[in-house]
Structure 1
């Protein structure tokens, strides 16, 4: 494969439109959970399937994490979007079904949490198809939102997502407001609800026996989250969170997330919304782009 390294914007998306939020809100908060379960450990490294202690990190989702997160969301009376790999739904239906019953949105997160690879185009598209099939089979849901496993994407995959009925993505890191993707042929693609990497709990709360990644405590993370949220709120953006039940479903980190969301809820001018709600709002206020 040859690579085009000519100087140009590497994301040809349409410019970010002027945005207002519903009911006079100054900013939005998008609470997104990636329910990877064991796929976080076997999707890109299949040999881990024979390392039971390693994959037990992911097993925490179904045994403890998902239920505890649902309890927290119910206590705070907020709705979120749960991005599920199809494998997770098939492996842990009893843990995943309550997400739908509680009224939360289900998003697409691949099938086996394989990082999308442009050099493996058929495999990447198969991950999309198998993910849809599993979520429809187990949960009776065909998602309209997608978060890229391992946070990667490429032009052909964006076009395939659009063709498959995906209306929004939440993977890119290049804005604080939603925008519309431009496909390689110039057509409008899915809406993007960009991620703020500071709100990925994996960065602060996950390590393993084979990793040198440090763990960060409550004080450091809560201070970072509040400061980043307050600044984003002041700029009128969207605070997009990338949370994992196998991280934020752990005891101390559950309380950390609770404290942060209570801080957000204490403001009267913040719209806490699912990805589908933000997408519908964007589509209602942003003129079509071609």
Structure 2
């Protein structure tokens, strides 16, 4: 374990963040407004806030661990009682866009408007978020600057490290808490025939085994276990029990600390041994990689 990481880890071998993206209908609607007419698809997504979130909150209470819920503004407006449940349970609520449209699919002004609209919705619940996650993690080069400009402390969208770091933007310095697809339940469980947002239904036992292996590897390498789950997926009974097994196994290791993204970001920004980084946008000649 390197001394460089000792500060933000606060003495733990691995820091684990349990995060839940309560997307509900928003990622499907981002594929096309016509899907609002598909009752199966809409109810499939509604399982998350209606059933998945209450189950997850009870499980987190059972294991006595904190979590961060990234909630799109549209979801918060449609399911205010669910938002209140998360607030009453004492977990962190963070910014996850308004529409769940990806920043890379919008103009800079559209991304800003969507970002601001989400902030206004959360403010109605008395929530001042300190963190942000881009829809589908598809941040634009502008996204980190927006996070800093609006006073948030961290982003969780980029994938160039498996440890947190300080990120310098034109609008200020924030913490970046990198996720990865291997620690996302969408890649394990998501299945919808139309729109085709996923084509796999993995065994929860296989997924639990994979994630426990990742935790043990990260304990050796001093990394951050940034787990991303979706209540419409991991809120299903068998999958939730697999997630419980992952958490309880990590707790039994004795050297894994669970923390909210807010707490990890604060420790990252305080760590004097972490060098601040800047994003380097990729620019290539048009004749080398022409637009398709």
TM-score by length of 1: 0.89
Per-residue Cα deviation, 1:141-198 (whole angstroms, up to 9, x for no partner): 0101001112111222221221001210111122111012233x5x653211111321
* Secondary structure of the corresponding residue to residue 153 of structure 1: coil
> Contact 2:24 / 2:45 at 8 angstroms: preserved in 1?
yes
Q: 1:100 aligns with which of 66, 78, 87?
A: 87
* Secondary structure of the corresponding residue to residue 95 of structure 1: helix
Per-residue Cα deviation, 1:82-109 (whole angstroms, up to 9, x for no partner): 0000111111001111101111000100
Question: Residue in 2 aligned with 1:113?
Answer: 100
Q: 1:198 aligns with which of 173, 182, 189?
A: 182
Q: State how many pairs are aligned.
A: 272
> Contact 1:42 / 1:55 at 8 angstroms: preserved in 2?
no
Question: Residue in 2 aligned with 1:280?
Answer: 266
Q: Would the alpha carbon gap of residues 119 and 140 (structure 1) be closer, same or farther in structure 2, given more than 3 Å must change? A: closer
Q: Distance in 2 between matches of 1:243 and 1:17?
A: 31
Q: Distance in 2 between matches of 1:176 and 1:286?
A: 19
Unaligned segments of structure 2, at least 5 residues: 278-292
Q: 2:68 aligns with which of 81, 84, 97?
A: 81
Per-residue Cα deviation, 1:104-147 (whole angstroms, up to 9, x for no partner): 0001000011111265111111111010000111x210101001
Q: Distance in 1 between matches of 2:272 and 2:10?
A: 17
Unaligned segments of structure 1, at least 5 residues: 1-15
TM-score by length of 2: 0.88
- Give, in angstroms, the shift of residue 202 of structure 1: 0.7
Q: Would the alpha carbon gap of residues 54 and 119 (structure 1) be closer, same or farther in structure 2, given more than 3 Å must change? A: closer
Question: Residue in 1 aligned with 2:280?
Answer: none
Q: Distance in 1 between matches of 2:16 and 2:180?
A: 11
Residue 262, structure 1, aligned to residue 248, structure 2: yes
Question: Residue in 1 aligned with 2:206?
Answer: 220
Question: Residue in 2 aligned with 1:172?
Answer: 158
Q: Distance in 2 between matches of 1:258 and 1:267?
A: 14
> Contact 1:147 / 1:169 at 8 angstroms: preserved in 2?
yes
Q: Would the alpha carbon gap of residues 135 and 194 (structure 1) be closer, same or farther in structure 2, given more than 3 Å must change? A: same
- Give, in angstroms, the shift of residue 284 of structure 1: 1.5
1:144-155 to 2 correspondences below 5 Å: 144-155=130-141
- Give, in angstroms, the shift of residue 223 of structure 1: 1.5
Q: Distance in 1 between matches of 2:107 and 2:176?
A: 23
Q: Distance in 1 between matches of 2:267 and 2:74?
A: 31
Question: Residue in 1 aligned with 2:27?
Answer: 40
> Contact 2:66 / 2:91 at 8 angstroms: preserved in 1?
yes
